[in-house]
Amino acid sequence: MISKKKFVIFFLTCILCVVSSAAISYTANNITHPFYAGITGGYGSTTWGELVPSENKASVAMSMSTPTSVTEGGAIWGVVAGYELIPTFAIEGNYTRYPVARINFDETSLFAFNYDGRLAFTTKTESTALVAKFMLIIPRTEVRAYSSAGVAGVHRYDAIKDRWRASPTFGIGLNYNLTEHLLAELGINYTGGYGESEMDPAEDFIPFLYSGFLRLAYRF
């Protein structure tokens, strides 16, 4: 699993670079439509697969507590709304629904014992987030590169657990004004999760989230 500390350092560095660059003089159209709202689509994945031990670490003891296999990843969708205070800074809120994951267990596992012989379950994940977006206008173009950071509420819900958790979220990407009212954005996003060492790690696991997406928004 990718270290959360490394992601925090990486994205904070991106933010500092963008903020510093924003201080450089630039030319841009006045913001006449600062509020925008739109839809999100793309590919995303949870990280349930990180609970499955690698082949060199697999053992009978491990199969008793960890999943044997996981199926996850696929299309994501969501909605977004934001407000640009200046051309290089915006506050944005979004909702994203991630693909369903299926987690499989061995017949001798604790999961099967605790749930009357059940060998698998499906779990859903969604997130809501409030982020600050720092943008850099690329000279002689209408393209703006951005980095974002904020707080997300990650919601895992299935037959075993229904739980929300506050986590950090980070993103980078590009946006472009297609017309006066239409905004397009291409980006990637990472949202933290939660896991702990226990006999049944799937019991309290909140997946980390990764996504690549295209957004289309209308400026009001």
Q: Which residue has tokens 């841009």?
A: 28
The pLDDT assigned to 134 comes to: 97
How far is the C-alpha of 193 from the C-alpha of 24, rounded, in Å? 36
7: confidence class by pLDDT, cuts 50, 70, 90: low
pTM score of the predicted model: 0.84
Q: Which residue has tokens 């739109």?
A: 38
How far is the C-alpha of 216 from the C-alpha of 175, rounded, in Å? 10
Tell me the pLDDT tens digit for each residue of 162-192: 999 999 999 999 999 999 999 999 999 999 9
Is residue 20 packed enough to be buried (19+ CB in 10 Å), middle (13-18) or exposed (0-12)?
Answer: exposed
